Amino acid sequence: MPRPAPTDIAQRKADHLHIAASGAGGFARSNLLECVQLVHVALPELALDEINLSTTLLGRRLAAPLMIAGMTGGTKEGERINRILASAADKLGIAFGLGSLRPMLDRPALAATFAVRKLAPSVFLFANLGLAQLRHMKTSEVGEAMDRVAADALCVHLNAGQELAQPGGDCDFRGGLATISRLCADLGRPLLVKETGCGISPAVARALENAGVAAIDVSGAGGTSWIAIESLRARGEQAARGRELREWGVPTAASVGWLAAAGVRAEIVASGGVRTGLDAARALALGARAVALAQPALVAVCRGGERGAMAYLSGVVDGLRRVCLLAGQRNAADLAHAPRVITGELGQWLAQRPA
């Protein structure tokens, strides 16, 4: 299928930003993280300033187990948002993901809207390309695209649901695993594979591991529904089909819990409706190595610019630190072994883990 015209891509990216920031594309369903209840430790014998939040992701040390997931690029507004959030991530010592680089593949001048390295010289920076595009790219072309934005690692997003709902979207998903295997073998850069709001099952995680993938972002249901966003952009029967599937997917907490229980060796990143430090702590308790968030960071920028972004992200980090203390854990990584109770619907999902 030929690529849409560059102007169409730019308008689509602008639509995505507007709908995501408005919250209209959010799931009605919960991500089920509220079903993870960490047991309170009344005598923690800890001081807040000795809580260690640091972790490693794909071999890179982070000051806190947090990543700003890729959202935007290709427009002037996207450029502003990328620069603000990348700078904030650099200051906080967390990872940052660019939005899909697809616009600059068609219009090389749009690379400037992804250019954040000068403002964030130390940030762990992820380039972002969809599997639908990567199938048709040589490995050398992928590396060149990463070099143009000075990225440290590649995020490969899986978005079959979004593509099916998107006007003019891809409907052929064959050859995806072979493409991922090729990139793992030949790219020579760290690679993170992520969903886009529908979650990852144990069977898919195992297939990704066997292909060489070292980190998986579940991007589960309960945050932003990209099927919903595309259905809001569509018309007629296309919009109706999107609306029918807007709640499709495995909730974030269930996906993380499934992968951890299945003994997945790849580093697990939890995203999909993560909003607070408490959300992050609950995801880490289920077995995630790190958490990623997007929509609330976007809203923080839209409402308060650079100050708003720093205030929000600092609040998430501080909230996680406080939950660690109340759970009696000196290190955030130890939350995976902290006493917890699983309640409600999440218990049903975890009890019926698929093979």
Could you give the CA distance from residue 271 to residue 252 in angstroms, rounded to a whole number?
7
Mean pLDDT of 34-51: 98
- b or e along 315-329 (b: 16 or more beta carbons within 10 Å of the residue's beta carbon)? ebbebbbebbbbbbb
The phi-psi region of residue 215 (left if phi > 0; otherwise alpha if psi is between -120 and 50; otherwise beta) is beta
Region for 344 from its dihedrals, namely left if φ exceeds 0, alpha if ψ lies in -120 to 50, beta otherwise: left
| CA dist list (Å): 185 to 133, 180, 208 | 18, 9, 13
| C-alpha span between 220 and 254 (Å, rounded) | 8
Mean pLDDT of 157-162: 93
Q: 71-75, 219-223, 338-342: which range is least confident on average? A: 71-75
Q: Could you give the angle at which helices 236-244 and 226-233 cross, rounded to 10 degrees?
A: 160
Q: Is 198 helix (H, G, I), strand (E, B) or coil?
A: coil
Burial zone of 250 (CB within 10 Å; 0-12 exposed, 13-18 middle, 19+ buried): buried
Whether 342 contacts 36, CB under 8 Å: yes
pLDDT digits (tens, 9 = 90+) for 231-267: 888 888 888 888 899 999 999 999 999 999 999 999 9
Confidence band of 116 (pLDDT split at 50, 70, 90)? very high
Query: Is the pLDDT confidence value at 5 over 60?
Result: no
Q: Give percent above pLDDT 70 in the chain.
A: 97
* Helix, strand and coil in the chain, % to nearest 5: 50, 15, 35
* For the chain, domain boundaries: 12-351
Residue 19: the pLDDT is: 85
The distance of Cα 34 from the centroid of its chain, to the nearest Å, equals: 19
Spatial distance between the Cα atoms of 213 and 190, rounded to a whole number of angstroms: 9
SS3 for 216? strand
Given a contact cutoff of 8 angstroms between Cβ atoms, the answer to whether 201 and 250 are in contact is: yes
Residue 121 confidence (pLDDT): 98
CATH of 12-351, one of 3.10.580.10, 3.30.70.20, 3.20.20.70, 3.30.540.10: 3.20.20.70
Separation of alpha carbons 223 and 216, rounded Å: 17
Q: Give the tokens for residue 292.
A: 């990623």
**CA–CA distances in Å: residue 240 to residues 29, 236, 237, 305:** 19, 6, 5, 36
Q: Percent of the chain beyond pLDDT 90?
A: 82
